[in-house]
Chain A
């Protein structure tokens, strides 16, 4: 079957959704299909251009395509008789972010018109779709709440599970992924100040802004952690990132209230690493169970420090929690072959 994946692009920016689309393509090909990714440039600033961007996608013509899998607003406006959505997110600034007061839409009737335009067009696109999947329970809930459409949650698999076989621990706790305030790497540094001297921490990943990096560097200095904390703040080659995960004693990931499990947690579990997170971290709590697959701390330095200490006090137990994290992740049955099969069903 010729399956066209339709996604947006912000020219010269490559992010998680691009990676997902590319891995979906590879796995469709592995399953014996033809697959390509159509990446449609999308500009949402200023908000006044949004209607033309929606029309743009609607006006494109496809042929020589058996099935479309569309991922995002406004890519899912593309017309095709057999269109399945794997919804990563809608235009949140017209929905939940609007309700939260974080929108780029103008105030007053102009913004109201844009919101109803987006909602009506979305509803039409959802209605004409063959099937709708979402990438998380939160996305499914929003779709249902704002648009009244039912969908099935289809969690994205780890893109390259083969890179995370695990391995012997080099006795550090690893915190990977993007670095910003919402991911709260700073909280780990505060915890380090309370943790025992044997605890070591590696924070590695790309900062959203230079200030995010500067803040962490300053904290390490201020708290006198230079000999126990390694900061590797940059966009890491995939191999380097995997190396950090595979040789960690445990992996810490404590975003504030995230929608999804998070790749960092999924990859750590694939590598059989015990996980440290916090009670308010959202989606990851589906994977991290206190005393089973890791530690769920309160989001404060002292509670986190206890969890970090525990990684070192009984290393055999830490390893066992890691194994159980892998078992739990495996029990979710989330793999590319199955995902491809579901999307094409």
Chain B
């Protein structure tokens, strides 16, 4: 089949929404499909939105048998067999309207833009043969704001077979970007309250040097040098697989994210329990408290207790790890499921 994958992008910004497109392309090509990847530039500035949507509307992809659209506003593309894998709205006009992230005034003009954008989105969503989302949260927003039904199709990680359990050491690992909203600082505070010899490894690249310095200082202040390893750098895929493979459990506690986050899926593939927090958003779709990890209160004390418990009771860590792997199957987080649904 000739399949066009259409998404929007910001030139020279990699990762994120590009991963899902490019990983899917590899899988589709392995299946023998002819794939064309189309990235269109998009700026989310309110005054520029509609001209860009007009441009997208003029794009002719009739040579494709079907198109799969990802990042907004790729979904306004016209095609008789349009499938959406909807990742998010332009959130400032939706769920972030009443927050400080809106970035423009709540005035007559912007309210008019909002209502027109929502109409356009709804019409474009309705044109699709099928609408998939990457999480329940996004599906709920589509239902709430656009009145459109959708199916959750969880994005798998690339080559998940790389992640295997090689044992259970004494370390909780947290591998993701080192940024304030990923809350590595909260894990440090928790470590200071642990009563066992449990260790913590924080790693990932950072765009926020201040945060990094603050973490380093806090490790010293709390006297955690011999319990905590902080690696602020890009962790390559092999290192990541090795850390998840050998660890006791994983921690991932972002502030209210839409999706479950790749780190928690990678840890699950390596049969590791996941420590998260009740305010982490999409992670809660994956992690069930006491089953494949812990949903802790976002406090140092509660987190410290989870860490100590996994350290003291390794059998529990192993059982939860096995459950984490089983949970992936239960949620159908696999490329075979993704391909089957997208090509149905």
Contact = CB atoms under 8 A, between A and B. Distances in A.
Interface string A10-44: 11100000000000000000000010101111010
Nearest to B53: A59
Contacts of B61: 11, 41
A64 B4 contact: no
Interface string B279-302: 000000000000000000000000
Contacts of A209: none
Contacts of A2: 11-12
A63 interface: yes
A61 B12 contact: no
B48 interface: yes
A197 interface: no
Which of B13, B40, B64 lies at the interface centre, i.e. has the most chain A CB atoms within 10 A of its CB? B40
B11 A4 contact: yes
B167 interface: no
Interface string A78-110: 000000000000000000000000000000000
B123 interface: no
Interface SS of chain A: helix, strand, loop or mixed?
mixed
B52 A12 contact: no
A12 B10 CA distance: 23
A63 B42 CA distance: 8
Contacts of B11: 2, 4, 36, 38, 62-65
B43 interface: yes
A222 to B, nearest CB: 37
Contact of A61 (B4, B36, B52, B60): B52
B111 interface: no
Contact of B55 (A4, A10, A59): A59
Given A2-B12, A4-B11, A12-B36, A59 B41 contact: no
B2 interface: yes
A59 B54 contact: yes
Interface in A137-180: none
A36 B34 contact: no
Interface string B27-66: 0000000101011111101001001101100111111100
A24 to B, nearest CB: 15
A12 B40 contact: no
Contact of A11 (B12, B41, B45, B64): B64
A56 interface: yes
A59 B73 CA distance: 14
Contacts of B4: 11
Nearest to B10: A64
Interface stretch (A47-55, A113-121, A277-285, A291-299): A47-55
Contacts of B55: 55-57, 59-60
B51 A38 contact: no
Contact of A36 (B2, B12, B52): B12
A60 B52 contact: yes
A34 B12 contact: yes
B53 to A, nearest CB: 9
B200 to A, nearest CB: 35
Given A2-B12, A38-B11, A53-B58, A61 B64 contact: no
A61 B51 CA distance: 9
B40 A60 contact: yes
A60 to B, nearest CB: 5
Interface string B154-193: 0000000000000000000000000000000000000000
A9 B40 CA distance: 12
Nearest to A36: B11
Interface in B48-105: 48, 51-52, 54-55, 58-64
Contact of B58 (A4, A11, A52): A52
Contacts of B54: 55-56, 59
A33 to B, nearest CB: 10
A39 B48 CA distance: 21
Contacts of A12: 2, 34, 36, 63-64
Contacts of A53: 58, 60
Contacts of B60: 41, 43, 49, 53
Contacts of A38: 11, 39, 41
Contacts of A62: 11, 41, 43
15 contacts: A4-B11, A9-B38, A11-B4, A12-B2, A36-B12, A40-B40, A41-B60, A52-B58, A53-B58, A56-B55, A60-B52, A60-B55, A61-B41, A63-B43, A64-B10
